[in-house]
Amino acid sequence: MIARLTSVARIAIAISGLLLATPALADRVVTDQIGRQVDIPDTVNRVVILQHQTLNIAVQLDAMDKVVGVLDEWKKQLGANYVRLAPQLPNLAMPGGLTKVNIEELLKLKPDVVFVTNYAPADMVKQIQDAGLAVVAISLLDVPPEEAVKLNPTVKDEPAAIDAGFATGVRLIADILGRKDKGEEMIAVTKKTRKLVADRLADIPEDKRVATYMANPDLTTYGRGKYTGLMMERAGARNVANSIAGFKQVTMEDVLKWNPAVIFVQERYPTLVEEIKKTASWQTIDAVKNGRIYLMPEYAKAWGYPMPEAMALGELWMAKQLYPERFQDIDMQKEAEAYYKEFYRTDYRAAQ
């Protein structure tokens, strides 16, 4: 009898030891941005980020010490110059991207949490889950779950959906990475600057707003339902592509018909500015004739998803380009320097 009890005790101790040694035990549950309940460890020390928006936020939260793997398209999505803000990026493993994953390479990294984009394929998410890893989807948009999983979701109240989704997404990322206070600080600074812009542009009627086009490679652009369209609206622009939904390719005939007075080009596509200036088909457009093609600064991230620096700085920069007389007292260099010092922990001039 004593021998049997001793044997049982040894087995119990062994099982307890195995349980204590298992890092993947879930200590809490979070709700991701496509409505899924996800079990994650109470303390997260190793994450893989397969979405560039989440990666950008993680850099600003000063949480890159916890990042062990990133998406393979980071340079394309964030721009080649971004490495100056996160010099460790080229040395990190790249076990997948926005819509794909190499599960063997991912498992080698032993992540506590894997961040993916909201529109990551269901089979990709299932593959990661089936491997025993916690998967958190980030959308930065507050829409029903059936819409949240789409690349171009239907958005009923765009300003409310983007504002709420941004705050929820930042809080979720900051919570998981142990940077709650920094996340709240990030949300607060976006609200402060956006109020300034809104107050100064409040009296401009819709028919007096500047007709504006966001140029991307291959005649792709942003219409309604994406943050870029709202960014332009808040900066006092009238997005000429507002008739389309989401991020889509248009035709040269569309652009000629719209005849924008201003063209903005994202910082990650610098060669597009000269391409537009030199291509014959663009020459009759007002923005080209009047030299109003603007390459956006690094912080004015005109992406489909809201980014903190775009909301805190980019909307202000864009408004200043469209209505310089209303923002003569604003020194964007000083604004950018203050933001970069606080969230990127570097000198903005060194990042240019």
In this predicted model, what pLDDT tens digit does every residue of 269-308 receive, in sequence order? 999 999 999 999 999 999 999 999 999 999 999 888 899 9
Mean pLDDT of 11-15: 42
> In this structure, how many other beta carbons lie within 10 angstroms of the beta carbon of residue 185?
16
C-alpha to C-alpha distance for 135 and 49, rounded to whole angstroms: 10
pLDDT for 11 equals: 41
Q: Would you place residue 352 in the very low, low, confident or very high pLDDT band (cuts 50, 70, 90)?
A: low
Q: What is the pLDDT of residue 81?
A: 86
pLDDT of residue 79: 84
Q: What is the residue-averaged pLDDT of the chain? A: 91
Q: List pLDDT tens digits, range 39-69.
A: 999 999 999 999 999 999 999 999 999 999 9
pLDDT digits (tens, 9 = 90+) for 185-203: 999 999 999 899 999 999 9
pLDDT of residue 10: 47
Q: Are strands 220-222 and 247-249 parallel, antiparallel or unpaired?
A: antiparallel
Closest to 302 measured CA to CA, from 173, 214, 201: 214
Determine whether 315 is exposed, middle or buried from the number of CB atoms within 10 Å of its CB (0-12, 13-18, 19+).
buried
pTM for the model stands at: 0.84
pLDDT of amino acid 303: 86
Torsion angle (degrees, nearest 10) of CA 212, 215, 221, 223: -10
Within 10 angstroms of residue 279's Cβ, the number of other Cβ atoms is 11
Tens digit of each residue's pLDDT (9 = 90 or more) over 233-276: 999 999 999 999 889 999 999 999 999 999 999 988 999 999 99
| pLDDT surpasses 70 at 83 | yes
pLDDT (0 to 100) of residue 350: 60
